[in-house]
């Protein structure tokens, strides 16, 4: 009875909603937030555009939700629960200085610009910033307790490190990679400087993490 061209599959509302959001997040990471259109999401899901409207009456809300989802998922990867403070920081810095967070960095840059036109996105973005800052501040406080970091104001150090990350991230869309040492090691340099670590201390830890992650990095490289 069903026409061969269209067999409609009915899913539970929550399931379909999550599926749409997840696919939108994939588009956000791979192609950019402005490529999240009703049609683009619908095509990837093999569904009609109207269905996306049904779950997200305002397309902008889907874009914001997709950004939040993508960023939230990556955050868990960026801040591992185990390890000493230096190792955890090294993990974060390694991801940021290496090319393991390429898509994430582009997404942040993307969203930071789009904030200009969307107050709602700006609010969501600032909330995500706040969550990231909480994570890193807490990491820094752990390091102060163990004596690894010597810093007066942990939030100040946290802010500096994130500004450094965003500064490096600003160049993510450049075609010719910038290989200058001052650039490629900017985040670890700023972190050492801000956390009162000995020169090269963090960089050594970062190199260890990166070395141990060599397979994962190679896989990421191949994906680009």
Residues that bind DNA (CB under 7 A): 1-3, 5-13, 16, 36-40, 42, 46-51, 53-54, 57-60
| Residue linked to tokens 């910033």 | 129
Q: Does 200 bind its own copies (CB under 8 A)?
A: no
| Residue linked to tokens 């960089």 | 203
State the Cα–Cα distance between residues 20 and 97, nearest whole angstrom.
Answer: 32
- In contact, 206 and 187? CB cutoff 8 Å: no
Sign of CA dihedral 189, 194, 126, 26: positive
Nearer to its own copies by Cβ, of 46 and 167: the residue is 167
Contacting residue, 2, 6, 7, 176, with its own copies by CB under 8 A: 176
Partner touching 8 among DNA, its own copies, none, CB below 5 to 8 Å by kind? DNA
- In contact, 109 and 169? CB cutoff 8 Å: yes
Partner touching 157 among DNA, its own copies, none, CB below 5 to 8 Å by kind? its own copies
Q: Does 190 bind its own copies (CB under 8 A)?
A: yes
Q: How far is the CB of 108 from DNA (least distance, A)?
A: 21
Nearer to DNA by Cβ, of 61 and 201: the residue is 61
**Smallest Cα–Cα separation from 72: which of 117, 20, 134, 116?**
134
Q: Taking contact as CB under 8 A, which single stretch among the options 19-27, 64-72, 139-147, 190-198 is the one that binds its own copies? A: 190-198
Q: For its own copies, what does the binding mask look like between residues 99 and 128, x meaning CB under 8 A?
A: -------x-xxx-xx-xxx-x--xx-xx--
CA distances from 174 to 31, 42, 53, 98, 106 (A): 16, 31, 35, 15, 11
Q: Does 165 bind its own copies (CB under 8 A)?
A: yes
Q: What is the DSSP letter of 213?
A: T
Partner touching 190 among its own copies, DNA, none, CB below 5 to 8 Å by kind? its own copies
CA distances from 150 to 24, 83, 198 (A): 42, 19, 10
Q: How many helices (H) and strands (E) does the chain have?
A: 12, 0
User: Applying CB under 8 A, which residues contact its own copies?
Assistant: 32, 106, 108-110, 112-113, 115-117, 119, 122-123, 125-126, 153, 155-157, 159-160, 163-171, 173-176, 178, 180-183, 186, 189-190, 193-194
């Amino acid at each position: 009875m069903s026409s061969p061209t269209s067999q409609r599959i009915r899913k539970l509302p929550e399931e379909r909603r999550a599926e749409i959001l997840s696919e939108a997040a994939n588009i956000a990471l791979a192609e950019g937030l402005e490529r999240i259109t009703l049609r683009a999401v619908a095509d990837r899901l093999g569904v009609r555009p109207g269905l996306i409207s049904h779950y997200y009456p305002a397309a902008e809300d889907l874009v914001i939700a997709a950004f939040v989802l993508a960023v939230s998922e990556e955050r868990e990867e960026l801040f591992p629960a185990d390890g000493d403070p230096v190792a955890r920081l090294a993990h974060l810095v390694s991801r940021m200085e290496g090319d393991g967070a390429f898509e994430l960095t582009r997404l942040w840059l993307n969203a930071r610009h789009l904030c200009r036109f969307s107050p709602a996105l700006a609010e969501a973005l600032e909330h995500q910033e706040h969550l990231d800052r909480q994570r890193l501040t807490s990491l820094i406080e752990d390091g102060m307790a163990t004596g690894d970091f010597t810093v007066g104001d942990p939030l100040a150090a946290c802010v500096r490190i994130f500004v450094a990350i965003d500064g490096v991230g600003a160049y993510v869309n450049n075609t010719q990679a910038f290989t200058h040492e001052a650039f490629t090691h900017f985040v670890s340099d700023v972190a050492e400087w801000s956390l009162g670590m000995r020169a090269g201390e963090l960089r050594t830890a970062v190199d260890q993490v990166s070395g141990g992650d060599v397979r994962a990095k190679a896989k990421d490289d191949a994906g680009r």
